[in-house]
Amino acid sequence: MISLKLVILVAFFYFGILFAVAFYADRQRRMGRSLIDNPTIYTLSLAVYCTSWTFYGSVGRAATSGLDFLTIYLGPTLMAFSWWFLLRKIVRISKEQNVTSIADFISSRYGRSSVLGAIVTIFAVLGIMPYIALQLKAVAYSFDLLVYPLATSNTMHVLPQLDLHFDSALVVALILALFAVLFGARHLDTSERHEGLVAAIALESIVKIVAFVAAGVFVTYGLFDGFTEIFQDFLTRFPEREYLLRLGTDSNTYAHWLSMSFISMMAVMFLPRQFHIMAIENCHEKHIRRAMWGFPAYLFVINLFVIPIALGGLLLSNGDTQNADFFVLTLPLQFGQGWLAILVFIGGFSASAGMVMVSSVALSTMILNHLVMPVILKIQSKAKDLSALLINLKRLGILVVILLGYVYYQLLGESAALVNIGMVSFVAAAQFAPAVIGGLYWRQATQRGAATGLILGFVVWFYTLLVPSFVDSGWLDPSIVEHGLLGVDLLKPTELFGLSGFDIWTHALFWTMFLNLGSYFAISLLTKPRADEQEQIRKFVDVYQPVVTVPERTRITRAPSVVEFVDLMAKFIGERASSSTTTSRHAAVIWKMSSTCSVQSTSAVPPAGSSSASFTMRRGWSPADGICNRSSMKS
Amino acid sequence: MKTDRKLPLKDAWVIWFMLGVVMLNYPFLHIFNKSTLLFGVPLTVLYFFIGWPTSIFVIYLFSKYLEHGTEEPLPKDQAERDDSGEAT
């Protein structure tokens, strides 16, 4: 057991360092320098992919299910190999179109459809809830284990020294919300680029890999005599568990392996936080070159000791898997390595905090741009200081996103293993894949096809993955899983339309992708891209085609033209609505906003006939994080 | 000469990606899925932990190769910044 005071002291010291780094990065940016304009920092920031799922959950998975934890990292490794073609195209488009989030990317591709932006935002928020719950659970449990290792489920969340009962998950949620606001939404003029946040994430990535490798070296070489001894001891003592080191077993079929790999490949590209760090916070396309091998190398190193820790934990706990998710923390504690345990706790906290901060900031930006802004424009806000209203809404969005994760944890997360909670979110993120990848390469893809595919994909995701979770936690009557919806056998959530014999992830992936992709293709072929989609198709599919441009490098201090404003408003309320807005009652609201903005032209003026222009909100109002980033990149 | 190098690079990349997909799935994995210990480590585990860094090394070589020329030009303004080393 570690002294509570010591844990709090070390934690606050670490928070201080993180904040100092973030503050320094923001200050450098204000001075015209960039701390994160560096391929190594970019690569490290991508490692926000490794959350407490990696830090704690992988060991738990390796100890209970076996080698399938590797798919979560082998899939992204494969995907990273395609980045020079796929990610570079996404980054190029994101810069040229001033994209601010994955919702913005999808809606921009399909004619700046505000409906599509709203759909993606709602699904992204719902889909990421379990993932945030996972982080809260991991930090809360690791804290409990550190300060009160004898806690059982009845005595969790108790501080015996202070005789205080408290909900550590809620405290963690509030601390992480505060962090996210401080790093991602302190004020609007700096939130146009989150350089401080990215710098903090990069530092956290170093801390978590150092902590995990330190624990791995301690277990492998401190408690055992290297890898060989661990494997041999394990196979001698638990020969019946050899399946943990094999594939094609009952718990680890090849179909399961394939679907987990595919889900991870899609998740690493289309989880909102990954998209944000990869595309929106990218400074230079050339940084992708190092990330292509640097990111997989990071994944390799952080996974090197997962199996030794898992098997070592099993050997030292007589095969008990109850606490397998937290072997990495309990083993140093059990063998009196207090400082190592604190380092592991800080590493685990870093893994969780990075994910929660970037996710909540990315989702909050999406909520603000695609759900709140259209409403504000419709109701003609009378607020005198619109910028204050918007930044506060963004902060509120961050808090709401994190608290939704907390609610999920309270309702559903207590009983499930870490990896199982996270996989629900991974399958949700995979639903964005057809609309994004299809939109990059397929001219015929239409807004109606994308919307139908997304809606069907998410409905089936909810039915095949969330409904069984509700049943597991006692929320729903088990009869829906046993006998199907309304007693119809074909509607069993885990054996939909009679598809049986697969694990829950393969089953859900098959049906979500079948319906998502199927309807995306079918509706796209049956409909034609509308006029407002045509121009965007060219800008996305043919982004590498040279366009004749006239350089314009001076900052425009005049008020923006109506055409320029229409283009900006199209991001929030759609192309057609924005066109009518300029002549409608909303004009007053827009021009009110214009008084708080200045406009910066892009270096590339679009060809005649195009209404594309990008804006930089210098003062007061910047709902679309990244707009400034993109514009300043070009100017 | 630059154009001569472009196509093989893209093709080689796609082939390597496809090879990676094949090597990480059934039936290829089945070859190594045996209860044999090699150097005291189970063969399946050894396969992953040797194959994984090897493939990363190949990509490292690709990325070094890329530094000598990109396939599509960078946007003009970004290319200028890259040339001058100017920070954003």
Task: Give the CA radius of gyration of chain A.
Answer: 25
Q: What number of residues does chain B have? A: 88
- Measured between CB atoms, does B87 come within 8 Å of chain A? yes
Decide if B78 and A284 are in contact by the 8 Å CB cutoff. yes
- Please, are residues A632 and A616 in contact by the beta-carbon 8 Å criterion? yes
pTM (two decimals) = 0.84
- Please, are residues A52 and A351 in contact by the beta-carbon 8 Å criterion? yes
Which of A289, A549, A633 lies closest to B66 in CB terms? A289
pLDDT 10s digits, B35-88: 888 888 999 999 999 999 999 998 898 888 887 755 555 555 554 444 443 333
Strands (E) across A186-306 are located at: none
Lowest pLDDT segment from A282-296, A531-545, A593-607: A593-607
Of the candidates A269, A616, A629, the one whose C-alpha atom is nearest the C-alpha of residue B78 is A629
- Please, are residues A169 and A137 in contact by the beta-carbon 8 Å criterion? yes
Residue A497: which residues within 8 A CB-CB, separation 6 or more? A490, A511
- In angstroms, the CA A339 to CA A327 distance is 16
Q: What angle do CA A542, A374, A460 make, to 5 degrees?
A: 70
pLDDT 10s digits, A295-334: 999 999 999 999 999 999 999 998 888 888 899 999 998 8
Residue A168: which residues within 8 A CB-CB, separation 6 or more? A139, A140, A143, A144, A156, A157
Give the residue from chain A lying closest to B65, CA to CA.
A289
Instruction: Tell the burial category of A500 from Cβ atoms under 10 Å away from its Cβ (0-12, 13-18, 19+).
Output: exposed
Give the residue from chain A lying closest to B31, CA to CA.
A247
Torsion sign, CA atoms A324, A325, A329, A333 = negative
Decide if B87 and A248 are in contact by the 8 Å CB cutoff. no
Give the residue from chain B lying closest to A550, CA to CA.
B76
The CB density around residue A570, as the number of other CB atoms within 10 Å, is 24
Cα B19 to its chain centre, rounded Å, is 10
Lowest pLDDT segment from A267-271, A364-368, A451-455, B64-68: B64-68
Decide if A544 and B59 are in contact by the 8 Å CB cutoff. no
pLDDT 10s digits, A222-253: 999 999 999 999 999 999 998 899 888 888 88
- Please, are residues A291 and A79 in contact by the beta-carbon 8 Å criterion? no
Q: How far is B2 from chain A (nearest CA, A)?
A: 17
Take residue B52 and report the two structure tokens written for it: 């994984």
Lowest pLDDT segment from A55-69, A270-284, A425-439, B63-77: B63-77
- Please, are residues A555 and A628 in contact by the beta-carbon 8 Å criterion? no
Residue A121: which residues within 8 A CB-CB, separation 6 or more? A103, A363, A366, A367, A370, A371
Peptide bond into A239 cis (omega under 30): no
Residues 4-43 of B with CB under 8 A from A: 10, 13, 16-17, 20-21, 24-26, 29-30, 33, 35, 37, 39-42
